[in-house]
Amino acid sequence: MGSPDDAPSYTSGRLQLRVREVIRETADAASVVFESPHDGFTYRPGQFITVGAQLPEGLAPRCYSLSTAPDHDPHPAITVKRVVGGQVSNWLIDNVAPGMSVDIISPTGGFTPREWTHDFVVVAAGSGITPAMSIIKTALMTHHNAVTLIYANRDQESVIFADTIAALQETYPDRLVVQHWLESERGLPTAVGIGSLIAGIDDGAAAYLCGPTPFMDVAHEALEAAGLPVARIHRELFYSLTTNPFSAAATTTPAAPVSPGQPAETGTRVTVEIEGETHEVAWPRDAILLDVLLDNGIEAPYVCREGNCGGCEFILTEGEVEMRVNDTLDDFDLRRGARLACQSTPVTDIVGISYDS
């Protein structure tokens, strides 16, 4: 975070956003609403930004999902819940104020619907409602989907967006069903309990799950038992970054593009579509794709570099790659060609990839 300035700036996927408002949502959660950026900032429902908090101990990067709907909310916002002993969540809630500028990396992530032609089942716990809110609002307000929301919380007081959800229910009584699961009344969520709330869902529905792993595991079990194919169940796990994506710009070197058609000297040749431009570069067999792109001056997106945030996702258009780690893409993503640049090594001599698809 830095001092206020006149306009958000945009460099290499890094932006400064000005804080417009901080809204206390519950005793331990707050939304940080930003002024609308002029350009360089677009997002899909369910995606996240990476905030670079300038703490006294140094820069601490953390991911936060956008809780707003891109087509409807004029100002993008994140919603942060305190984590006991957590550095950045507490710092954001206690220190951020209107007028401050926040360093961020622009929105990314694969936890976002690609089709809006089916019903949605959204299963969230606690702060997991954040990306869910963006998806639900878009499904109801931009599209015509039916949505079932199952939302688990400790007690009534910890329900984030309680009023917004109630208002959506009033506006869309035929298309939105909300089932609150309060631990204070029902204990921890179980597969059988969640199953009873989703009985009769259409097996063509798509499910979006966000919350702690044990919670998502029981929800997954219930959805599969209800007949939903695994490929239609998408999960987003919240965790703290252990790498620093803000150091990227310093490590990149100017582009050395190969002319289209000119063979690469060694290994694989990869053609990259990004931001409406096409690049062709050599890709040594044992090299990680993201490193190759950055070394060639191509500003490919990334966040964690550990294979678990989805921030470096691209679509394979030709050839094949192998991923060392994949903790984020599910069967559905893999079938539509999604791969992680921070984990990919080449399998074929010719590879085509797109960030624009």
How many residues at the interface with ligand FES, by CB under 6 A? 13
Give yes or no for residue 312 binding ligand FES (CB under 6 A). Answer: yes
The residue among 22 and 294 lying less far from ligand FES, judged by its C-beta, is 294
Give min distance, CB of 93 to ligand FAD, in A. 9
Quick one: which of 107, 211, 310, 346 contacts ligand FES (CB under 6 A)?
A: 310
Residue 27, contacted partner among ligand FAD, ligand FES, none, CB below 5-8 A by kind: none
Find the helix packing angle between 162-171 and 129-141, rounded to 10°: 20
Binding flag, residue 41, ligand FES (CB under 6 A): no
Amino acid at site 272: V
- Shortest CB 277 distance to ligand FAD, Å: 27
Written as six digits, the tokens of 312 are 């470096």
- Of 168 and 293, the one with the shorter C-beta distance to ligand FES is 293
192 forms beta bridges with none
How many angstroms separate the Cα of 127 from the Cα of each of 64, 123, 187? 10, 12, 18
Q: How far is the CB of 327 from ligand FES (least distance, A)?
A: 8
The least distance separating ligand FES from the CB of residue 328, rounded to whole angstroms, comes to 6
C-beta closer to ligand FAD: residue 37 or 46: 46
The verdict on 339 binding ligand FES (CB under 6 A) reads: no
**Binding status of residue 345 toward ligand FES by CB under 6 A:** no
Q: Which does 239 bind (CB under 5 to 8 A by kind): ligand FAD, ligand FES, none?
A: ligand FAD
Question: In angstroms, what is the minimal distance from the CB of 214 to ligand FES?
Answer: 22
Reference 283, options 310, 318, 307; nearest CA is 318
**Residue selected from 340, 344, 346, 351 as contacting ligand FES according to rule CB under 6 A:** 340
Residue 110 CB, shortest distance to ligand FES, in Å, is: 9
The residue (of 79 and 343) whose beta carbon lies closer to ligand FAD is 79
Query: Under the rule (CB under 6 A), what is the footprint of ligand FAD?
Result: 48, 62-65, 78-81, 83-90, 109, 127, 130, 238-240, 309
Shortest Cβ 310–ligand FES spacing (Å): 5
Does residue 241 belong to the site contacting ligand FES (CB under 6 A)? no
**Residue 340's binding partner, choosing from ligand FES, ligand FAD, none, with beta-carbon cut-off 5 to 8 A by kind?**
ligand FES
| Cβ atoms within 10 Å, residue 203 | 12
Q: What letters, b where the CB count within 10 A reaches 16 and e where it falls short, cover 265-296?
A: eebbbbbbbbeeeebbbbbeeebbbbbbbbbb
Minimum CB separation of residue 191 from ligand FES in Å reads: 28
CB of 169 to ligand FAD, least distance (A): 22
- Residue from the set 127, 158, 271, 308 that interacts with ligand FES by CB under 6 A: 308
Q: Which pair of structure tokens corresponds to residue 227?
A: 């007949």
Task: Indicate the residue type of 249.
Answer: A
Residue 302 partner contact from ligand FAD, ligand FES, none using kind-dependent CB cut-offs of 5 to 8 Å: ligand FES
Comparison of 15 and 32: residue with beta carbon closer to ligand FAD: 32
Q: Where are the beta strands (DSSP E) in the chain?
A: 10-11, 14-26, 29-34, 48-55, 58-65, 77-81, 101-108, 120-125, 147-153, 176-182, 206-210, 233-236, 268-274, 277-283, 313-318, 321-323, 338-340, 344-346, 350-354
307 binding ligand FES? (CB under 6 A): yes
In contact, 129 and 160? CB cutoff 8 Å: yes
CA 65, 71, 76, 78 torsion: positive or negative? negative
Contact 280, 258 (CB under 8 A): yes
Where does the chain have alpha helices with state H?
87-95, 129-141, 162-171, 183-186, 191-197, 213-225, 248-251, 289-295, 331-335
Residues that bind ligand FES (CB under 6 A): 302-305, 307-312, 328, 340, 342
